[in-house]
Structure 1
Amino acid sequence: MKTLLLILLALTITTVNLKAEKLQGQERLDSLLAELPKAKGDTNKVKLLASLSFENYSTNVDESIAFGLKGLKLSNKIKWEKGKANCYNSLGTCYLGGKNNFPKALEYFKKALVINEKLKDKKGISYNLGNMGTIYFYQLNYSKAIEYYQRAIKINLETGDSTNLALNIGDIGNVYTYQSNYPMALEYYQKALKINERIENKNSIALNLGNIGTIYNNLSNHTKALEYTQKSVKIFEELGNKSSFALNLGNLGNIYTSLLDYPKALECYFKSIRINEELGNKTSIAIKLGNIASIYTYQSNYPKALEYFEKAININKEVGSKIGLAYNYAGIGYLYLTISQDSIINNSDDKIGLLVNREVNLNKSIEYTTQSILLYEEMGELDQRSSSLKTLSEAYELKGDYKKAFESYKEHKELQDSVFSQENTDKIATLEKAREDDLKQKEIEKQKIRIVEQEKREKLILYFSIGLVLLMAVVMLVIYRLLKRSDKLLYNVLPVSIAKRLKKKEHPISDYFTQASIVFIDIVNFTEMAQDADPQALVSNLNTIFTKFDTIAKKYGLEKIKTIGDSYMAAAGIPEVQKDNTHRAAQMALEVKSMMEDYHTTDGTKIEVRIGLDCGPVVAGVIGENKFIYDMWSDAVNTASRMESSSIAGEVHVSERFKEAVTEYEQFDYEERGEIEIKGKGKMKTFFMGSKAVEAL
């Protein structure tokens, strides 16, 4: 029974994507209602109605819709386009978060998008695209969801809106979470967390930490899950964000459920319910009641489980939550199937009663499970419908209706296969769409350049005399030389291919490489040497060493990425793909090792280095606006850095992953170091690498 985790994660995603002022409970709602009679029929009243429509959607969605429609009517009357967009947004939120009516929500967000595009309101456009992505996400159209999130991200990059940039990056992490692609989900959540930490957005930091905790729980790393979720809960409590605090208490309860610590899980759920009762958040209350019912089912306390399922159903009916009802019906169907199993009956104190009522219980299992299937079908939900069909098949099998059992199981398998193949199709479609968009954008930029150049030629012919043309030629010559000088400087800072892309106005630049190799080199005890050294001599010595490293990197075709203090970083396989990138990186590392074996500065100081290598998929690109830098990010980058820092002087320290990748080249040998503790990675098996030719000598 998978209801517990999915419901909690769905609420987390809803909280992320409804990009509006956070809910502050009945007190704020009462304050807005008190202002309504005083408001005049102007733009301020429209704003007030739009706010009421949003603030009230989780407690009284029909009243919220009425407020939104009133605001829309007034906006039309006073001909205020921005007010119409705001009301469409609020109505979309009501149908998305309050009624789970995704087609209707999509309709309103599309209307808001049209107005915001007309007004050139980029922030509003980003808001609409993000929420439309969320709707596609709930409809399991993952390729569409990612497409809209990426469009929102592009706008946020243009406007420098780091808050919503992190938000949409987290949205993509949510998609990968539901696709069970946990490494990618974790990567996106961590990217979002990094941005939020930079801009000190504590609320979003807590949200990211909570989602990372959920990923670790899915990976059964409950220690990490507790660590991240408890951090999240603590921050929300400090911020006084009761809604998110209650939400993450539920996530914490989920972790304790995974650990089979049902008393602590129940404590978290009941505490979350008390807070949501203060906030009037009925939808969240219903979710926690359903989760509590699930625990009672696990504990074989079936009467108590049914009691809480019924409570959840009553609230879900009241707020019109079809997804909540579907989960509850599925949970009850699973419960009745459970108490019809021979293993449960034989171990029960009420063995005779369960045997007598077995037929009745199986009929109830079929009835409730069928109701859940119909609701899932109505919402277009495939995965959970497949799970309910499996329950239905097992109920029919116990009942002896093998024909229906087979039909249900067959449909379950077909849906399961459909979901799997759809995921692959979505991934391909997303990549194809991204490629098409990239080509279209490049063509648009080329067309813009052609138009601008044509206009310049026409103006020159029309307005300038022969003398001015000669003067312009002189000026253009000067500009050309300056540009050539600028190009030379740019090519020294960035890879040539990247610099050319920047000149074509392609920014930001972000490329994914399935395989690259990273080399980190660090001077041993540099800090101690630098304390008493002459600054000029110190810089001169560093320049001499790093220049030699540059020569070796160029020799083997590696790209120098950056230097930080006494650390040197280079990579093979970027920005141009090199199939033999591991071989190139290994050769550079070993030549640096050989060069530095007995290296002394001009004043006789012996210099030693540590070297670390790893390989794997990376993302590389250009960041910054004024001072460009070409950098790369991935687990392989972090691991290579850890290999360097945990190495010893004069050795090339490589990960097991790198060793396996470069084994095809027989010129290297390896000394196993065993499993060692690597900071941030845990226990890892690593190796010292050498050259067979050198060893033979």
Structure 2
Amino acid sequence: MKEYRKVRIRLFTGLLLGLLAGIAFNVHAQTREIDSLQQVIASGKQDISKVNSLNALSLAVLSQEDIEGAIRYAEEADELAEILKYTEGQALAQKYIGLGNYYQGNYLAVMDHWTQSLESFEKVRDTSGMANILNNLGGVYLSQGGSDKALDYYLRSLYFAEKIGDTMRITSVLPNIGAVYGDLKDYDKALEYFEQLETYLPYISNPQIATYYYMGIGEIFNKREDYDRALEAYQWALPLSENTSDYTHILKEMGTIENKIGNRNKAVEYLTLSYKTAREKKQPLETLNALIGLGTVYQKTDFSKAVGLYAEAEVLAKELGSDKGLRDIYEGLSATYSAFGNYRKAFEYQNLFLAQKDILYNLETDDKIRGLQFDFENQQNQDKIDLLNKEKEIAALQAKRQKYVIYGTIISLILVFVMAVGAYSRYKYVKKTNKIIADERDRSDKLLLNILPEETAEELKQNGKVAAKRFESVTILFSDFQGFTSHAQNLSPEILVKSVDYYFSRFDEIMDKYELEKIKTVGDAYMCAGGLPFPTTDHPFKMVEAAFEMAAVMEEIKREPKEGIVPFEVRIGINTGTVVAGVVGLNKFAYDIWGDAVNVASRMESLSEPGRINISENTYQRIKEVYDCVSRGKVLVKNKGEMEMYFVEKRKIIRHAKSKEEVNA
């Protein structure tokens, strides 16, 4: 998820995971519970109690972060519940399978299993379960950038929760609906749902929900520039959040508002407390926000203090990779220098501000596209499931029909047997001929797929030619072996060919693993691309992972030499950009790609170093949140001038420790 959405998800979908299961464990109780459940399962009785025990065990081991074990137990419960026709148990099992996949980030699998869980809850008319799953489904869509679809699920969840008066479900979904309407800038609607939540506050003892209510309306009033009411809401939320991670965020919001309405002393007081508390609690993002807020307060009154605060914030923003933070810092620095008459520096920071603004716009656009793509892929997945269900229904009808026609079939078989004796010789001949034709067709298809992508091969077979296609975002990789020419002069052709064949075969396996397209090899050079012939959004990350594995293959041979295989050093270069792809030639045709992006990728490889992965600025901007990269600065490139380049070092550790609520969800 993009950094600019983190606060929204933290504030209003924190209720999602905390209410998924409705059960909490302490450490000692967990161990006792797991042991007890395993004893029940070991008894061997294939009954409803075993389904319930498997479901409870799935949830218990998930609380100990054994995700694979949780999925395995839930799948076993699902299978047994289906055999026993125990729909209630199957609904919970499907819910827990989806929950395990949620923690693994397999969102299409989550949608699949939670949709099945919803259908099972509908069969047994468990309205509370339906409300819970619908709320969860909305949370998945919100995390994938699909606000409209998320809102649909949230509203359906609210309908069922209100139908049975389930206060827990109602109060968990209302702030989610209000938050989505706030994101959609329909502030009246947002307040309408937050006001509905207000009516439940006197009857619930959960301070977290009350905090979310006050924070939610505070944010809406702030966006509407109704600052007095926003401050009032945040003042109610502040004491409720004192021992939570929301405390520093609320202080920062209050300080920002006080500055907007001219109360500078109050603003400094709140923002300073936010800064100190965030540092004590090791909340780097809130520390950054407090620094930016303080810098804004001193923009026009204390030049050195403002610049000093922004400088500290800039270091932290770069450490966090916060594009939003850098945007606000550069905007503040531009305003500060302008206020004190240094227009050259103001112009310099204004340009940096605009660059960061463009990056954020692109991230928001990518987020929307990701939401649409997720919706499309999920619909495709659901269509496949519906088709399988239809096939099962057809099979059942066919079996029923077979019962009525079995006697007629026996008579028909007797007649067919008599006729088959006369036609047997012809049948053998036709079968043999058809097999030869089919084998030749399969062989030609396999040969064609070895040199062309499947989609392109089908187009060539149908039309006799392939139209060139433009792909707006493709990642290209080039590699070659260091010192290959000198080796070629000193080695026998057999050993050289055997070595190259070994390495390229291993590279081909890596391409298949990451669903990347091998384009061609020329001598010791290997070229591949991601994001075609089917456009995707994750091709830069897949390509970097593939590059790491290619380099690992070369290191493996150096560590563990193989007979007849020459160890080489490999140089790797990667670039992302627009290409045109198509088939060239009439007889010995080949699939190839063209464009400036290809030329830049080739330059990245030629200017790389042995064992290193050299990437362009285009690729760096897409992967920098996930991988640690080292800037090489501007490097002179033939026919291109100076270009920014980076060496990819390693993948960042991006998974954070779970909260108790997340663990027990």
Q: Structure 1 length normalisation: TM-score?
A: 0.46
Q: Relative contact order (alpha carbons < 8 A, sep ≥ 6): 1 or 2 greater?
A: 2
TM-score norm. by structure 2 comes to: 0.47
